[in-house]
Structure 1
Amino acid sequence: MYTFLSKINKIILPSFTKQQLDLTKAKKWQMAIIGWRYYVTTRALDEKRQ
C-alpha cells in the first residue's frame, strides 16, 4: 500500500529538493508535505525490506 502511495506522491506532490528549498524558511504547508513524503517513503521501504 505504501509503495503505491509513494509512487503517487512522486507524480503529484512537488519536489522541494529540486527547488532547493531551505528548510529553515519553509512554510507550514511545505513542512507538512515534506513530513508526509518522509512518512510514506519510510513505510514503503519497510514494506520492501520484509
Structure 2
Amino acid sequence: MYKLLAKLNKLLLPSFTKQQLDVSKAKKWQLAIIAWRYYVTSRAIDKKITK
C-alpha cells in the first residue's frame, strides 16, 4: 500500500528539493507536504526492509 502511495506522491505532489526550497522559509502547507512524503516514503522503505 505504501509503495503505491509513494509512487502517487512522486507523480502528483511537487518536489521541493528540485525547487531548492528553504525549509526555514516554507509555508505551512509546504511543510505538511514534506511531512506527508517523508511519512509515506519511510513506511514504504520499512516494509521493504522487513520482508
The one-letter code sitting in structure 2 at the alignment partner of 1:3 is: K
Q: Which structure 2 residues correspond to residues 1-50 of structure 1 after superposition, within 5 A?
A: 1-50=1-50
**Long gaps (5+) in structure 2:** none
The one-letter code sitting in structure 1 at the alignment partner of 2:2 is: Y
Structure 1 residue ranges, 4+ long, deviating more than 2 angstroms after superposition: none
Query: Following the alignment from structure 2 to structure 1, what is the Cα–Cα distance between the partners of residues 25 and 39?
Result: 21
Query: Following the alignment from structure 1 to structure 2, what is the Cα–Cα distance between the partners of residues 47 and 8?
Result: 17
**Long gaps (5+) in structure 1:** none
Give per-residue Cα distances to partners, 1:1-50, cap 9 Å, x unaligned.
00110000000000000000000000000000000000000000001101
Would you say how many aligned residue pairs link Structure 1 and Structure 2? 50
TM-score, scaled relative to structure 1: 0.98
Percent identity, please.
Answer: 70
